[in-house]
Protein backbone atom coordinates (compact mmCIF):
# COMPACT_ATOMS: atom_id res chain seq x y z
CA UNK A 1 0.00 0.00 0.00
CA UNK A 2 1.22 3.50 -0.75
CA UNK A 3 2.12 5.45 2.37
CA UNK A 4 0.35 8.44 0.84
CA UNK A 5 -3.12 7.04 1.51
CA UNK A 6 -2.91 6.86 5.34
CA UNK A 7 -0.80 10.03 5.50
CA UNK A 8 -3.28 12.09 3.50
CA UNK A 9 -6.25 10.64 5.40
CA UNK A 10 -4.55 11.55 8.69
CA UNK A 11 -3.81 15.10 7.47
CA UNK A 12 -7.42 15.61 6.38
CA UNK A 13 -8.83 14.17 9.63
CA UNK A 14 -6.54 16.47 11.60
CA UNK A 15 -7.83 19.50 9.69
CA UNK A 16 -11.45 18.43 10.23
CA UNK A 17 -10.71 18.27 13.94
CA UNK A 18 -8.97 21.65 13.75
CA UNK A 19 -12.09 23.17 12.19
CA UNK A 20 -14.23 21.63 14.92
CA UNK A 21 -12.05 22.99 17.72
CA UNK A 22 -12.17 26.49 16.25
CA UNK A 23 -15.79 26.61 15.18
CA UNK A 24 -17.78 24.71 17.79
CA UNK A 25 -19.42 26.51 20.68
CA UNK A 26 -20.32 23.70 23.05
CA UNK A 27 -17.31 22.55 25.11
CA UNK A 28 -18.18 18.87 24.70
CA UNK A 29 -18.22 19.21 20.92
CA UNK A 30 -14.78 20.85 21.18
CA UNK A 31 -13.61 17.78 23.12
CA UNK A 32 -14.96 15.52 20.35
CA UNK A 33 -12.95 17.47 17.79
CA UNK A 34 -9.83 17.09 19.93
CA UNK A 35 -10.43 13.34 19.85
CA UNK A 36 -10.53 13.46 16.05
CA UNK A 37 -7.18 15.27 15.97
CA UNK A 38 -5.60 12.73 18.33
CA UNK A 39 -6.90 9.89 16.17
CA UNK A 40 -5.36 11.43 13.08
CA UNK A 41 -1.99 11.42 14.85
CA UNK A 42 -2.52 7.78 15.85
CA UNK A 43 -3.16 6.78 12.23
CA UNK A 44 0.11 8.46 11.22
CA UNK A 45 2.01 6.67 13.99
CA UNK A 46 0.66 3.26 12.99
CA UNK A 47 1.23 3.81 9.27
CA UNK A 48 4.84 4.93 9.73
CA UNK A 49 5.51 2.12 12.19
CA UNK A 50 4.31 -0.46 9.69
CA UNK A 51 6.31 1.21 6.92
CA UNK A 52 9.59 1.39 8.87
CA UNK A 53 9.27 -2.15 10.31
CA UNK A 54 10.73 -0.89 13.56
CA UNK A 55 11.96 -3.71 15.78
CA UNK A 56 10.92 -1.82 18.91
CA UNK A 57 7.56 -0.93 17.31
CA UNK A 58 7.83 2.53 18.81
CA UNK A 59 4.93 3.79 16.70
CA UNK A 60 2.49 1.21 17.97
CA UNK A 61 3.63 1.61 21.58
CA UNK A 62 3.20 5.38 21.28
CA UNK A 63 -0.24 4.86 19.74
CA UNK A 64 -1.30 2.82 22.77
CA UNK A 65 0.09 5.52 25.08
CA UNK A 66 -1.73 8.22 23.12
CA UNK A 67 -4.99 6.31 23.40
CA UNK A 68 -4.55 5.98 27.18
CA UNK A 69 -3.66 9.66 27.54
CA UNK A 70 -6.67 10.60 25.41
CA UNK A 71 -8.89 8.58 27.74
CA UNK A 72 -7.43 10.38 30.77
CA UNK A 73 -7.81 13.72 29.00
CA UNK A 74 -11.47 13.14 28.16
CA UNK A 75 -12.20 12.15 31.77
CA UNK A 76 -10.57 15.24 33.25
CA UNK A 77 -11.98 17.46 30.49
CA UNK A 78 -15.53 16.29 31.06
CA UNK A 79 -15.15 16.75 34.83
CA UNK A 80 -14.03 20.36 34.25
CA UNK A 81 -16.87 21.00 31.80
CA UNK A 82 -19.38 19.60 34.30
CA UNK A 83 -17.98 21.84 37.02
CA UNK A 84 -18.18 24.88 34.73
CA UNK A 85 -21.75 23.95 33.85
CA UNK A 86 -22.66 23.70 37.55
CA UNK A 87 -21.14 27.08 38.33
CA UNK A 88 -22.30 29.00 35.26
CA UNK A 89 -25.29 27.12 33.90
CA UNK A 90 -23.69 26.93 30.46
CA UNK A 91 -21.06 24.90 28.66
CA UNK A 92 -20.58 27.35 25.78
CA UNK A 93 -16.92 28.23 25.44
CA UNK A 94 -17.53 31.74 24.09
CA UNK A 95 -19.59 32.77 27.11
CA UNK A 96 -16.71 32.05 29.49
CA UNK A 97 -14.88 35.35 29.12
CA UNK A 98 -13.89 36.35 32.63
CA UNK A 99 -10.39 37.19 31.42
CA UNK A 100 -11.73 39.62 28.81
CA UNK A 101 -10.41 43.07 29.78
CA UNK A 102 -13.19 45.05 28.11
CA UNK A 103 -15.89 43.22 30.03
CA UNK A 104 -14.63 44.44 33.41
CA UNK A 105 -13.18 47.88 32.80
CA UNK A 106 -16.05 50.29 33.75
CA UNK A 107 -16.95 48.86 37.13
CA UNK A 108 -16.26 51.45 39.89
CA UNK A 109 -18.13 49.48 42.55
CA UNK A 110 -15.81 46.53 42.16
CA UNK A 111 -12.76 48.83 42.30
CA UNK A 112 -14.15 50.33 45.55
CA UNK A 113 -14.55 46.90 47.05
CA UNK A 114 -11.03 45.91 46.08
CA UNK A 115 -9.65 49.09 47.64
CA UNK A 116 -11.48 48.36 50.85
CA UNK A 117 -10.15 44.82 50.87
CA UNK A 118 -6.64 46.13 50.34
CA UNK A 119 -7.06 48.69 53.16
CA UNK A 120 -8.34 45.97 55.48
CA UNK A 121 -5.34 43.85 54.61
User: How far is Cα 49 from Cα 62, in angstroms, rounded to an integer?
Assistant: 10
Applying the rule CB under 8 A, the residues between 3 and 32 that interact with another protein are 3-9, 11-20, 22-26, 28-29, 31-32
For 86, the 3-state DSSP assignment is helix
Residues in contact with another protein, counted by CB under 8 A, come to a total of: 68
Residue 107 binding another protein, by CB under 8 A: no
For 69, the 3-state DSSP assignment is helix
For 92, the 3-state DSSP assignment is strand
Per-residue x/- track, 51-90, another protein (CB under 8 A):
x-x--xx--xx-xxx-xxxxxxxxxx-xxxxxx-x-----
4/121 with CB nearer another protein: 4
- Please list, residue by residue across 5-32, b when 16 or more beta carbons sit within 10 angstroms of its beta carbon and e when fewer do: ebeeebeebbeebeebbeebeebeebbe
Residue 103 binding another protein, by CB under 8 A: no
Point out which residues bind another protein (CB under 8 A): 1-9, 11-20, 22-26, 28-29, 31-33, 35-36, 39, 42-43, 46-47, 49-51, 53, 56-57, 60-61, 63-65, 67-76, 78-83, 85, 91-94
Amino acid sequence: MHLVYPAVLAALLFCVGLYGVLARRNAILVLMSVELMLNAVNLNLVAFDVWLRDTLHAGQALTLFTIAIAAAEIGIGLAIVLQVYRNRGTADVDRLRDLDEDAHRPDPERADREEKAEAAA
